[in-house]
Amino acid sequence: MTPAERAELALLLEVTGAPKPGNVDRERDLPDLRFEQFLAGAVGARAGLETAEDGPVGEAFETAVAGMADAAGTNTQFGCLLLLVPLVRTASTGELTRERASEVVDATTVDDAAAFYRAFEQTDVAVQDPPEGADALDVRRGADAIPDLRERGLTLLDVLGLGADHDANAREWVEGFPRVFRAAARVEADDGPLADRGARAFLQLLAEAPDTLVVTEHGESVADELQERALELQGGDPEAVREFADELVERGVNPGTTADLTAAALFVALERGVSVDG
């Protein structure tokens, strides 16, 4: 399998893992998102993931998001793709390590950043307000922000650095994907079906830190509550995890950033030799 194929498989494994509290999985849909839409989004993103193997990171991300949105009809895996694209590029050029992934993101350009902004015109993405003094660089402006971006000479890594304090995916870019690689090591050390290992990794990631999408949509107190609940459920009764999952669906609380990290961790594990046949 190529890195792009493993990345597509990681997206499929992430959504099939169950239970994943508050997220779409093989056992539950959300009111406005269905399981099969995530399957379609993963397939639709394939062309962008293939571009990531030898093309510009920004172009690959924009292409992947456009394909995802067209196939799924909505945003299913925007954050997953933001993490996967540089990891696919890294794996395509040699060993997949944190150090080499950092070199890939360090090499991003202003053109990569422009493509990142254009990707926000493809689908709706929940984001926090930009830092003080950075209104001109609000990603919700899409392509309208590109002249300001070019004037300041900001690369894609620079742009993500602006949001690293309040967005876990951006923080992974800046810090060399530490949580992704730690979660991948847990997936490797686990056993059983790989999709279920991903679900367990999801719960561990949720227990590790507040989910920043939950912070954006519901506030810090709700994100802290979810983290505490996930801590209590570590290694516990699977039925209790399912009850927590159903509760979050009823409340409309979706720890989507945790799912992004899980997909990226599954990709790293696959690149390191974990396989679906055990």
More reliable by pLDDT, 31 or 265: 265
- Is 183 within the bounds of a domain? yes
Band of pLDDT at residue 147, cut at 50, 70 and 90 = very high
Q: Do the Cβ atoms of 56 and 112 come closer than 8 Å?
A: yes
| Burial of 54 per CB tally in 10 Å (0-12, 13-18, 19+) | exposed
Give the separation between CA 82 and CA 65, rounded to whole angstroms.
9
Average pLDDT over residues 206-220: 96
pTM over 0.85: yes
- Is 73 within the bounds of a domain? yes
Range of the domain at 184: 3-107+167-271
Average pLDDT over residues 58-85: 98
Helix 3-16 and helix 35-44, axial crossing angle in degrees, nearest 10? 170
Position 188 scores a pLDDT of 97
- Is 239 within the bounds of a domain? yes
Mean pLDDT in the chain?
A: 95
- Is 33 within the bounds of a domain? yes
Position 101 scores a pLDDT of 98
Total number of domains constituting the chain: 1
- Is 113 within the bounds of a domain? no
Instruction: Find, among 23, 15, 18, 20, the residue nearest to 252 by Cα.
Output: 23
pLDDT at 145 over 90: yes
pLDDT at 132 over 80: no
Position 130 scores a pLDDT of 82
More reliable by pLDDT, 98 or 276: 98
- Is 258 within the bounds of a domain? yes
Q: Do the Cβ atoms of 268 and 96 come closer than 8 Å?
A: yes
CATH number for the domain that contains residue 223 = 1.10.4200.10
Residues paired with residue 274 on neighbouring β-strands, in sequence order: none
- Is 185 within the bounds of a domain? yes
Give the separation between CA 51 and CA 60, rounded to whole angstroms.
5
Return all residues near 75 (Cβ < 8 A) that are at least 6 apart.
68, 69, 123, 124, 125
For residue range 89-112, list pLDDT tens digits in order.
Answer: 999 999 999 999 999 999 999 999
Give the separation between CA 148 and CA 129, rounded to whole angstroms.
17
- Is 115 within the bounds of a domain? no
pLDDT at 14 over 80: yes
Give the separation between CA 118 and CA 2, rounded to whole angstroms.
27
Tokens of 126: 């929940």
Band of pLDDT at residue 237, cut at 50, 70 and 90 = confident
Position 277 scores a pLDDT of 84
Tokens of 148: 């300001």
For residue range 170-189, list pLDDT tens digits in order.
Answer: 999 999 999 999 999 999 99
Give the separation between CA 244 and CA 241, rounded to whole angstroms.
5
